[in-house]
Amino acid sequence: MYFLKRKTGWVLIGVIVGVILSLGSGVLAEKPMGAPQASPDIPFKELRAFSEVFGRIKSSYVEPVEDKELLENAIKGMLTGLDPHSTYLDVKGFKSLREGTSGEFGGLGIEVTMEDGFVKVVSPIDDTPAAKAGLQAGDFIVRLDDVPVKGMTLGEAVDIMRGKPDTDIDLLVAREGEEPFTVTITRAIIKVQSVRNRMLEDGYGYLRISTFQHRTGENVREAIAEMQSESDGELKGLVLDLRNNPGGLLQAAVEVSDAFVKKGLLVYTEGRIDDSSHKFKAKPVDLLHGAPMVVLVNAGSASASEIVAGALQDHKRAVIMGNQTFGKGSVQTIMPLTDETAVKITTARYFTPSGRSIQAEGITPDIELTSVKFTEAEKSQFERTRERDLTGHIGNGDKEEEKPKASEADKADDVSDEDEAENLAITDYPLLEALNLLKGINVFK
């Protein structure tokens, strides 16, 4: 039996080496047919160990295992052992990836990664079941229904979370500073609207990018044009919200950065092969014509979001406000194996225009905000007395002019603006801070 195992092992090594040599070089493929020539780059010792393990599983494992399953698991192991972002995409995984970049798929609506054997939430996607259930960036998912996550691959965990629409899943969530808790989420068809916009006040726009997809750059240009038309052609300032944006396509991040920077480098990538090293430069167009910008980021801002924030920060085109970003500074390339399967491999690191690598560091905001929660204060029954309320107060000049009384419409507008500001302070304090900063910049401008 031992001789047969050894023999089987060497046959398998011969097949593997033959495949490696045939794929490794076009020159080798032109050699006459025959036994493959030994190469110093072929790890024979390790391949022999692989074939031994393969043979032992085939002959001794408690249940029969198909060769296809064993080899696919070997491929998965090679990739997941590299870093958290390299993976094998089987039929389901490849389909899910294409659906995610197109903007519609089924599931919970969270971007996740693996850390210490558990699923970590990078960020929930806006207006999805996960976001509505209150999941936050940094949460760890410990159980999926009654199944422990420990021991699963990221792909296996994602497959369980996706499921059919209108079905429930129970997540056991661990959050820093809190006791683990269970949340029930109903799966749905996730339709991601990449770009949203609205006016905060007269002349001040708000642009939210939730993920970077194929049409994100185009959607940003349309949104800015729409807000400019509402502001007589020009914006006084813009808040770009990249909080909880898990990233997406590199090209989309370049297009968004290019919309606000007129010249110079936006981002560059470096890898081991020529195809993975690129430099992306700006075209001489700034859609805002120099109007000030504030970019909101947090721990859920990752990858493509960090490219945009880093480019605008290095070019001093925007003030970055919020919290330290996630720190994913690597580029993944999708390499199809068949029409239905592929491998996703980390092929490069990306760097900001000044040469900073964001990998495992993130973007440090120019203005850091502490996580606080505001509540509405009780209004006093009595207003403070001012000088003008005192009996017999003098005027403010030799010829005091009587000020026109405000109309009821003006009073209503004033009250509406105050209510909006108070509401923003309670619902989204960082956004209020960003708006106030834009106003301050314009005062001194």
Q: Does residue 362 sit in the same domain as residue 214?
A: yes
Q: Tell me whether residue 75 is in a domain.
A: no
Residue with tokens 């108070």: 422
Q: Residue 14: enclosing H or E segment and its boundaries?
A: helix 2-24
Q: Residue 29's pLDDT is what?
A: 33
Task: Give the pLDDT confidence of 146-169 residue by residue, as tens digits.
Answer: 999 998 888 789 889 988 889 999
Q: Which of 303, 305, 330, 344 is catalytic?
A: 303
Active site residue 67: no
Q: Does residue 116 sit in the same domain as residue 225?
A: no
Res. 7: pLDDT tops 50 = no
The lowest-confidence range among 60-64, 406-410, 432-436 is 406-410
Q: Tell me whether residue 81 is in a domain.
A: no
Number of folded domains that form the chain: 3
Residue with tokens 């390339």: 333
Task: Give the pLDDT confidence of 260-271 residue by residue, as tens digits.
Answer: 999 999 999 999
Q: Residue 290's pLDDT is what?
A: 96
Q: State both tokens at 276.
A: 């993975």
Q: What is the CATH number of the domain that holds 259?
A: 3.90.226.10
Q: State both tokens at 236.
A: 């006084």
Three-class DSSP category at 155: helix
Half-sphere exposure of 321 (CA within 13 A, CB side): 22
Contact 186, 133 (CB under 8 A): no
Q: Does residue 200 sit in the same domain as residue 109?
A: no
The lowest-confidence range among 85-99, 219-233, 401-415 is 401-415
Q: Tell me whether residue 384 is in a domain.
A: no
What percentage of residues in the chain have a pLDDT greater than 90?
A: 60
Q: Residue 2's pLDDT is what?
A: 30
Provide φ and ψ at 346, rounded to 5°: -70, 115
Q: Does residue 184 sit in the same domain as residue 320?
A: no
pTM of the model as a whole: 0.76
DSSP class per residue in 305-352: HHHHHHHHHHTT-SEEEES------EEEEEEESSSS-EEEEEEEEEE-
Q: Does residue 54 sit in the same domain as residue 169?
A: no
Q: State both tokens at 321.
A: 């406000």
Pairing of strands 204-209, 237-241: parallel
State how far the alpha carbon of 253 is from the alpha carbons of 125, 217, 248, 280, 310, in Å.
17, 8, 8, 11, 11
- Banded pLDDT at 378 (limits 50, 70, 90): low
Indicate the residue among 368, 399, 420 that finishes a domain. 368
Q: Tell me whether residue 437 is in a domain.
A: no
Q: Which of 76, 120, 236, 328 is catalytic?
A: 328
Q: Does residue 249 sit in the same domain as residue 333?
A: yes
Partners of residue 188 on adjacent β-strands: 107
Rg (CA), the chain: 29
Indicate the residue among 368, 393, 414 that finishes a domain. 368
Three-class DSSP category at 10: helix
Q: What is the CATH number of the domain that holds 168?
A: 2.30.42.10
Output the average pLDDT for the chain.
84
Residue with tokens 């403070």: 384
Q: Would you tell me how many other CB atoms lie within 10 Å of the CB of residue 236? A: 18
Q: Does residue 111 sit in the same domain as residue 29?
A: no
Q: Residue 34's pLDDT is what?
A: 40
- Banded pLDDT at 398 (limits 50, 70, 90): low
Q: Residue 346's pLDDT is what?
A: 94
Active site residue 328: yes
Range among 35-39, 127-131, 234-238 rated most confident: 234-238
Partners of residue 184 on adjacent β-strands: 170
Residues 6+ positions from 297 with CB-CB distance below 8 Å? 242, 243, 305, 306, 309, 320, 321, 322, 323, 325, 363, 365
Q: Tell me whether residue 79 is in a domain.
A: no
Q: Which domain holds residue 51?
A: 2-65
Res. 437: pLDDT tops 90 = yes
Indicate the residue among 328, 348, 368 that finishes a domain. 368
Q: Tell me whether residue 84 is in a domain.
A: no
Q: Tell me whether residue 398 is in a domain.
A: no
Res. 316: pLDDT tops 90 = yes
Q: Which among 260, 244, 248 is positioned nearest to 205, based on CA atoms? A: 260
Of residues 387 and 325, which shows the higher confidence score? 325
Q: Does residue 358 sit in the same domain as residue 212?
A: yes
Q: Residue 154's pLDDT is what?
A: 82
Res. 276: pLDDT tops 50 = yes
> What does the alpha-carbon distance between residue 292 and residue 234 come to, in Å, rounded to a whole number?
12
> What does the alpha-carbon distance between residue 156 and residue 425 come to, in Å, rounded to a whole number?
41
Q: Tell me whether residue 402 is in a domain.
A: no
Q: State both tokens at 52.
A: 């031994």
**pLDDT, mean of residues 16-23:** 40
**pLDDT, mean of residues 280-303:** 96
Alpha helix (H) residue ranges in 25-66: 26-29, 44-60
Q: Where are the extended beta strands (E) located within 92-224? A: 104-107, 110-115, 118-124, 140-144, 147-148, 168-174, 181-186, 188-191, 195-201, 204-209
Residues 6+ positions from 46 with CB-CB distance below 8 Å? none
Q: Does residue 207 sit in the same domain as residue 335?
A: yes
Q: Where are the extended beta strands (E) located within 212-341? A: 237-241, 265-271, 278-281, 293-297, 319-322, 330-336
Three-class DSSP category at 105: strand
Q: Does residue 318 sit in the same domain as residue 254?
A: yes
Q: Does residue 230 sit in the same domain as residue 253?
A: yes
Q: Residue 381's pLDDT is what?
A: 56
Q: Residue 404's pLDDT is what?
A: 53
Active site residue 389: no
Q: Does residue 264 sit in the same domain as residue 320?
A: yes
Contact 115, 152 (CB under 8 A): no
